[in-house]
């Protein structure tokens, strides 16, 4: 196994109270030394990275790898290649695969295929069998087989009673419950945010009340059952208000958002380009402002991507296309540009949102640059500006909402377990 001495880096690791310029030595796949000027060992490959910034590998706790069943969109290996190109060293993959990730057999398939991937893969299993909302999965068996969380992502569990029992069983088995908060009856076929733009285009809209109502329900259930609940991809001011209030009351609720929810609005849908459609949808300026404020004040715990690849032909028809956008390769740069470079939060806070907190909430390793820990590391050139060109993305699918946008902060190198899994030549 290769040994590296990474020289003259800006090293930042908020969980370890590190913010310094110095060196990192990696040996046997682990951090061997972190600090000032370190002397190279005979076996070291020395890399001078002056002017670059190193931080713990990012952990994206909400991705769709589409494997098994939809590998024309993405598979475990290509999804993890995209992750590595974005500085992401670990992902939690959602269960709406084919077959659904609701059994130890599917979990074994995912973990075996992920063994040689460029990022670590933590499977999220289904709450209900087949994600049909009728009967709970065997959570003890799923935990034993390697699941870290449960979710029927893509839709909520329709029955509050069944959801509450699922949350209790998940808690008993050490699994996080993740909820996709969306009342399907309220949406009633909507394909974008319900507002002035949907009315202008004459297409059915997705009312904020859909997200807000299920968010309120999940919080009430968690409060009553004394269990954890994690609210996925928050996009509305109303959901934020419910979560903020619940946290103040001591409810064990955490939540996530994605870069497009604090950077973009539904105005982009005027282009009638399905690459700007995802679920939940892009909202209004007031929602964007609320999401940004929630990032600043700590209401939002994590930034994820909800990486949801679709083939080009599937996205060709604006009204009929499936919802979803890719995001693994753009999440750091989009967040750094929109939040850190703009002065809203510090880089340290961004690393908490994208690495430290996801590791803590999922209960998985990571979020540290600490001697003896696995050397999962991202290295960025924060001064480099670059334009998102879909054809250059590593994902099988190119449906990015950020196409043509210019960002600061370029991932130039990613290490997983001490091996370089991504290196940008230019």
Query: What is the DSSP track for 157-206?
Result: -S-HHHHHHHHHHHHHTT-EEEE----HHHHTT--EESSHHHHHHT--EE
Phi and psi torsions of 59, nearest 5° = -125, 115
218-256 b/e with 16+ CB inside 10 Å = b? bbbbbbebebbbbbbbbbbbbbbbbbbebbeeebbbbbb
3-class DSSP assignment, residue 156: coil
Tell me what pLDDT residue 298 has. Answer: 98
Evaluate whether 3-54+373-423 and 56-362 have a shared fold. no
Domain ranges of the chain: 3-54+373-423, 56-362
Beta strand 44-48 pairing with 53-56 = unpaired
Measured between alpha carbons, how far is 22 from 330 in angstroms, rounded to an integer?
27
Q: What is the pLDDT along the chain (426 residues), one digit of tens a residue?
A: 789 999 999 999 999 999 999 999 999 999 999 998 999 999 999 999 999 999 999 999 999 999 999 999 999 999 999 999 999 999 999 999 999 999 999 999 999 999 999 999 999 999 999 999 999 999 999 999 999 999 999 999 999 999 999 999 999 999 999 999 999 999 999 999 999 999 999 999 999 999 999 999 999 999 999 999 999 999 999 999 999 999 999 999 999 999 999 999 999 999 999 999 999 999 999 999 999 999 999 999 999 999 999 999 999 999 999 999 999 999 999 999 999 999 999 999 999 999 999 999 999 999 999 999 999 999 999 999 999 999 999 999 999 999 999 999 999 999 999 999 999 875
Tell me what pLDDT residue 2 has. Answer: 86
Measured between alpha carbons, how far is 72 from 368 in angstroms, rounded to an integer?
35
Residue 378 DSSP label: E
For domain 56-362, give the fold: TIM Barrel (3.20.20)
Q: Residue 183 CA to chain centroid, in angstroms?
A: 22
Tokens of 197: 């733009």
- Selected catalytic residue, list 16, 75, 301, 306: 306
Ordered DSSP codes for 320-355:
TSPP-BB-TTTHHHHHIIIIITTTSS-HHHHHIIII
Q: What is the largest CA-CA distance in the chain?
A: 68
Tell me what pLDDT residue 1 has. Answer: 74
Domain spanning 3-54+373-423: which CATH class is it, in words? mainly beta
Tell me what pLDDT residue 354 has. Answer: 99
3-class DSSP assignment, residue 211: helix
The verdict on whether 381 is a catalytic residue reads no
């Amino acid at each position: 196994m290769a040994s590296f001495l990474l020289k003259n880096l800006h090293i930042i690791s908020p969980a370890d109270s590190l913010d310094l310029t110095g060196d990192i030595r990696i040996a046997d796949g682990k951090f061997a030394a972190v600090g000032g000027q370190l002397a190279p060992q005979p076996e070291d490959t020395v890399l001078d990275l002056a002017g670059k910034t190193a931080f713990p590998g990012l952990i994206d706790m909400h991705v769709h790898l589409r494997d098994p069943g939809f590998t024309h969109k993405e598979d475990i290996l290509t999804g993890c290649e995209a992750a590595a190109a974005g500085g992401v060293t670990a992902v939690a993959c959602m269960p709406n695969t084919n077959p659904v990730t609701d059994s130890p057999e599917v979990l074994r398939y995912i973990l075996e295929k992920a063994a040689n991937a460029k990022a670590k893969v933590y499977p999220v299993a289904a709450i209900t069998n087949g994600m049909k909302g009728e009967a709970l999965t065997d959570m003890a068996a799923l935990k034993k087989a390697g699941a870290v969380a449960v979710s029927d992502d893509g839709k909520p569990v329709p029955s509050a009673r069944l959801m509450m029992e699922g949350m209790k069983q998940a808690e008993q088995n050490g699994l996080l419950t993740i909820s996709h908060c969306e009342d399907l009856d309220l949406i009633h076929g909507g394909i974008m945010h319900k507002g002035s733009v949907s009315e202008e285009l004459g297409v059915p809209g997705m009312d904020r009340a859909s997200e807000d109502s299920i968010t309120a329900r999940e919080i009430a259930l968690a409060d009553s059952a004394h269990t954890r609940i994690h609210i996925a991809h928050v996009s509305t001011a109303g959901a934020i208000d419910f979560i903020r209030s619940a946290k103040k009351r001591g409810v064990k609720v955490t939540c996530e958002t994605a870069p497009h929810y604090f950077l973009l609005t539904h105005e982009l849908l005027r282009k009638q380009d399905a690459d700007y459609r995802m679920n939940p949808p892009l909202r209004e300026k007031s929602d964007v402002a609320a999401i940004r404020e929630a990032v600043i004040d700590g209401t939002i715990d994590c930034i994820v991507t909800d990486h949801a690849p679709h083939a080009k032909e599937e996205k060709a028809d604006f009204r009929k296309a499936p919802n979803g956008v890719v995001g693994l390769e753009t999440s750091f740069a989009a967040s750094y540009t929109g939040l850190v470079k703009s002065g809203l939060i510090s880089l340290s806070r961004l690393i908490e949102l994208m690495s430290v907190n996801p590791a803590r909430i999922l209960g998985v390793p990571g979020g540290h640059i600490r001697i003896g820990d696995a050397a999962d590391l991202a290295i960025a050139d924060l001064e480099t500006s670059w334009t998102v060109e879909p054809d250059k993305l590593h994902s099988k699918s190119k449906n990015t909402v950020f196409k043509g946008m210019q960002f600061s902060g370029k991932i130039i190198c990613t290490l997983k377990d001490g091996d370089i899994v991504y290196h940008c030549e230019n």
